[in-house]
Structure 1
């Protein structure tokens, strides 16, 4: 297959990825092979059963060794770009796996890398890079989502060298089976938000698997309950003193969620293009119908623009450091265009678009989660709006 033809059938119409160094592309291509050849044939079954094959996936992640350079003392020059491309490749076939990966490698490891002491980083990050310790990130609560900055209700109270945590966290990916969860709680003494590395084996910690999801069913989200969980002072994130520090983690990880939108849309386009070439009506492939071509071109235009935006935002983050408005625009745009693209893909398949057999239905449903988490469309819009106007529209 020619280079240009390959770019068209994989959604990289402008050949964006050929502009990147080989070292950045190597992990992406290894992961693409795993996702396409090994995971795709079984993805629908796990999604339909809401089953997460933890042991198998962790073993394969160890073999792929995708985290060897993540949050190392000397951060790779294009670390955000590289991490984003991995998120894209996961989401291109299965956004559930992108969430599993992002929660562990982005949010949990990121919290320790950005807000932990050197000792905490040395204790946890090497074992998390090797997938020997699995992590989660506990911020969202049953009654507090977008308003978490001011409305956090989980509390912490210091007693000597121990902190007592009480409250609940909801929608927490990996929480039902992981080894540690970074929990964000409000200090009863000074009302500031602090972070804690909570070992899930501690008395008083429990996590129940959430039921009834229609999006990203393969990844397990938990409702965490903390009842007088006693956490040692040495497990308090030593550089997390307020919600501003929590926000540093969210801003850093948000580009990865934009890339999830890119991947989900890219996968939907690829499946729709393949289907259009194989499905015949009125004696010829539907790929030859004007209205189908119109939908495919809209999908491809969205994916092409999304890659450009996410890639540039990631490059700027690697060069300038995390910027709230830059990552917010990338997430807002890519999540919205992802939603539009998967809807077009579903429509282009007609009735078959609602069958798991053709994969598009799963991506259609999963896109709703991408649209909602890591800052809703409205929250990210207001972050960018504040940056460009100088006026805050937050309540």
Structure 2
């Protein structure tokens, strides 16, 4: 590596050495040269392929399906194919990838996170070897897209104890009944991981339901103000028959579900850092170009105050998720550490996008200037995969030596 660089004044959207302007402490330099090349490749793809189209698709609440095949060509998930010789990327590299997606667009970050983290992550962690061989190769090439069905219409934070979707054993298969809500990718996913409670044992089990299975319907949720590109769905399961071969072999309790969420929760924190980076960089460029009273507004004290507060939030949050990734790579991280990162980073993200909107004044609510999209999308990241309040209770229980404040 080139070593820790100086901190030159940003020129254009990126620093001359390839670092993002918001990476003020050069966290990206912690990656190896090979890892940085992967980040740079993804960054260029997002800049040239995603950035030019996302505003249009966001305004129409439609998904740019033509990008899926191009994602496959990038080889981002080749390592997840059981037959691949590639090694699993470090959590630090995976984190910076999530940051890059969030930096470009939170909707595309969510699409990727649901497919790669929640759906594929569940199959990798809970599937048998035969199931991994059956599903992961095509998913790793983006030839089949995954979704993850946990949240229910009347069960979000309390889904662990209040899951209403049921699974009943019937001969050589299972009959699923119930409903799921807010399921990203589900309108077009080829495979949906569905969590359901066994009516006999009361244990939560995991199933992979393929699209077009009789009794399975996914209806797009309309009129969203956030993540409009993401095709969230209401899922209804009516006597939906799933063969025993499609029950995830190692998903036998809600603890298995929680283990998946512990990993992906940190990914949401990284996405939030990416959103902070993106909003800051838009505001910074605007402050240097927009003139009032005969000079750029970046030369006014109150504008610089907003920029520095945004940079401080982004830097502190990036430091937290970077350390979390190092703990994950060492195999010693804990639930409460992921929870704190998700809670802290998303709160700071909310502040940052608001300050970016404030700096752009009226232009901040016009999609042409992009900040408005970041403001709206931040609201979804703030809530999904565990609200701030739920993360707070997880951390609070840990720091008080196990005193639980959860409502029972």
TM-score bracket for this pair, using the shorter chain length:
over 0.9
User: Which residue of structure 1 aligns with residue 12 of structure 2?
Assistant: none
Q: Distance in 1 between matches of 2:80 and 2:341?
A: 21
User: Which residue of structure 2 aligns with residue 185 of structure 1?
Assistant: 196
Deviation of 1:334 after TM superposition, in Å, equals 0.7
Deviation of 1:53 after TM superposition, in Å, equals 1.5
1:62 to 36, 50, 72: 72
SS of equivalent residue, structure 2 residue 7: helix
Q: Distance in 1 between matches of 2:299 and 2:54?
A: 30
Deviation of 1:37 after TM superposition, in Å, equals 2.4
SS of equivalent residue, structure 2 residue 79: coil
Per mean C-alpha deviation after superposition, the further-off stretch among 100-109 and 7-16 is 7-16
Q: What are the within-5 Å matches in structure 2 for residues 274-353 of structure 1?
A: 274-320=285-331, 323-353=334-364
Q: Distance in 1 between matches of 2:147 and 2:383?
A: 18
Q: Distance in 1 between matches of 2:58 and 2:331?
A: 38
Query: 1:122-172 deviations in whole A, cap 9, x for unaligned?
Result: 111121111111100000001100001001000000011110001110000
User: Which residue of structure 2 aligns with residue 4 of structure 1?
Assistant: 7
Structure 1 pair 321–178 and aligned structure 2 pair: CA distance change class (3 A) = farther
Aligned 8 A contact 2:357 2:372 in 1: yes
Structure 1 pair 46–77 and aligned structure 2 pair: CA distance change class (3 A) = closer
Q: What are the within-5 Å matches in structure 2 for residues 57-206 of structure 1?
A: 57-70=67-80, 76=87, 78-206=89-217
Q: How many residues align?
A: 393
Structure 1 pair 190–389 and aligned structure 2 pair: CA distance change class (3 A) = same
Query: 1:158-200 deviations in whole A, cap 9, x for unaligned?
Result: 0111100011100000000110100000110011100001111
Deviation of 1:377 after TM superposition, in Å, equals 0.4
Deviation of 1:72 after TM superposition, in Å, equals 5.2
1:358 to 359, 369, 372: 369
Q: Distance in 1 between matches of 2:239 and 2:90?
A: 38
Deviation of 1:8 after TM superposition, in Å, equals 8.0
Whether 1:392 and 2:404 are equivalent positions in the alignment is yes
1:214 to 200, 210, 225: 225
Structure 1 pair 143–41 and aligned structure 2 pair: CA distance change class (3 A) = same
Q: Distance in 2 between matches of 1:276 and 1:242?
A: 52
Aligned 8 A contact 1:70 1:79 in 2: no
User: Which residue of structure 1 aligns with residue 284 of structure 2?
Assistant: 273
Q: Distance in 2 between matches of 1:70 and 1:319?
A: 20
Per mean C-alpha deviation after superposition, the further-off stretch among 40-49 and 261-270 is 40-49
User: Which residue of structure 2 aligns with residue 49 of structure 1?
Assistant: 60
Query: 1:37-64 deviations in whole A, cap 9, x for unaligned?
Result: 222122111100001022x111110121
Query: 1:194-240 deviations in whole A, cap 9, x for unaligned?
Result: 00011112101110000011001011100011110100001101111
Q: Distance in 2 between matches of 1:204 and 1:321?
A: 42
Give RMSD over aligned pairs.
1.6
Aligned 8 A contact 1:251 1:322 in 2: no
Deviation of 1:245 after TM superposition, in Å, equals 0.7
Aligned 8 A contact 1:252 1:322 in 2: no
Aligned 8 A contact 2:78 2:86 in 1: no
